Structure 1
Amino acid sequence: MQVLQLWLTTLISLVVAVQGLHFDIAASTDPEQVCIRDFVTEGQLVVVDIHSDGSVGDGQKLNLFVRDSVGNEYRRKRDFAGDVRVAFTAPSSTAFDVCFENQAQYRGRSLSRAIELDIESGAEARDWNKISANEKLKPIEVELRRVEEITDEIVDELTYLKNREERLRDTNESTNRRVRNFSILVIIVLSSLGVWQVNYLKNYFKTKHII
């Protein structure tokens, strides 16, 4: 029981951990996009907070694109500096990318932008201070409700993974069944062709009085 509690506590801690990233993007006259990918389930709220140093007009243009693998684009912002917040609700269970592109406006200068990126989703993306004020909840009640929602998200994620595994297993079994049936059909066809060839040659030799 203690092991189960420890496992659940660790799992919740991993889920609620804020995904904070710090990195630099060098400016280039022919820039390539640098993307951070995350996965979100259907109906989840996602909040992306971005901070960039520098300023507009400092010789580099930092562009931002937030889109998912289905083709939906949630934000496109060109030549920005400072803070940007992007919030959206996922229409389906899919991966989404937060992409940056830093274009140098002048050649021969070594420039870069420092980026701070925080991605929160599900219960962690909600404004619990606002919920507490609106519903007049005590701090312990807010924390319990937050943990409850996180636990529900974990259960939903495990259910999704289980259903996905079942679909993959069904697909694998169906493929194996088709391969087996095809192999049996090939054996029958080859055997029939062999019998036909033997009879044909036998009749041919008899006609030619060879046998």
Structure 2
Amino acid sequence: MSVFYCSLALFVILSPCSGLYFHIGETERKCFIEEIPGETTVLVNYKVEVHDPRSGGFMPSSPGIGMHVEVKDPDSKVILSRVYSFEGRISFTSHIPGEHVLCLYSNSTKWIGGTQLRVHLDIQVGEHAIDYANVAQKEKLTELQLRVRQVLDQVEQITKEQNYQRYREERFRSTSESTNQRVFWWSLTQLCILIGMGVWQMKHLKSFFEAKKLV
């Protein structure tokens, strides 16, 4: 079995959504990193297209070709892993802040002639993942009530992002302090070793001179 190739795309934390497309081959694996605050809803929309050798373009995929989607949290714990069809919508909620890894690969390794796929991917985070038209219809909200709901969700998301930034700063400060302590103790150890070697050399030279009756 061929070795999986993993390409990592790091998205900016404050960007509300990310739309892109990429090409994927047989037994190939594509992974993306998304920095997500805690308790935040993420919505992933994707669509698979198959390469058409006759036209040189891409056409809608057949129902037999789907995608296996796997999501891991910052602790490398799998929070989502299942096979979806050639087009779908995936939703999950982050329970801890940090870098979440989203991986996609084909559910089949028997494509005719090693067909290449094009995968359209759209990632929406926070309030951008909420379908407010559906919310307004279900809860029978007026336009003003819906707007207030959107503003409240935006404020909540901003608060989560600020908390995540503080979390990142604390983690960075902790790492910096730990590194500084290690550098300090390593420098102190080197100094002690040098002093010890100097003392030993002086004693050795003194013994040598005394043996030669030079002093």
Instruction: Settle same-fold status: TM greater than 0.5.
Output: yes
How many pairs are equivalent?
A: 187
Does structure 1 residue 152 correspond to structure 2 residue 156? yes
User: For 1:1-211, what aligned pairs fall within 5 Å after superposition?
Assistant: 15-16=15-16, 18-25=17-24, 28=26, 31-52=27-48, 53-57=60-64, 61-69=65-73, 70-77=76-83, 80-81=85-86, 83-93=87-97, 94-101=99-106, 103-107=109-113, 111-211=115-215
Q: Which moved more, 1:68-77 or 1:129-138?
A: 129-138
TM-score of the superposition, structure 1-length normalised? 0.70
| Identical amino acids, percent of aligned pairs | 27
Residues of 2 paired with 1:169 and 1:137: CA distance?
45
**Are the equivalent residues in 2 in contact too, given 1:104–1:111 (CA < 8 A)?**
no
**Are the equivalent residues in 1 in contact too, given 2:37–2:164 (CA < 8 A)?**
no
TM-score of the superposition, structure 2-length normalised? 0.69
Q: CA deviation at 1:209?
A: 2.5
- The letter for the 1-side match of 2:104 is C
Residues of 1 paired with 2:31 and 2:183: CA distance?
40
- The structure-2 alpha-carbon separation of the partners of 1:115 and 1:184, relative to structure 1 and needing over 3 Å to count, comes to closer
Q: What's the C-alpha RMSD, in Å, of the aligned pairs?
A: 3.0
Residues of 1 paired with 2:200 and 2:115: CA distance?
78
Equivalent residue of 1:123, what SS?
Answer: helix
Write out the 4+ residue segments of structure 1 that deviate beyond 6 Å after TM superposition: none
Q: Which runs of 5+ in 2 are unaligned?
A: 1-13, 49-59
Structure with the greater alpha carbon radius of gyration: 1
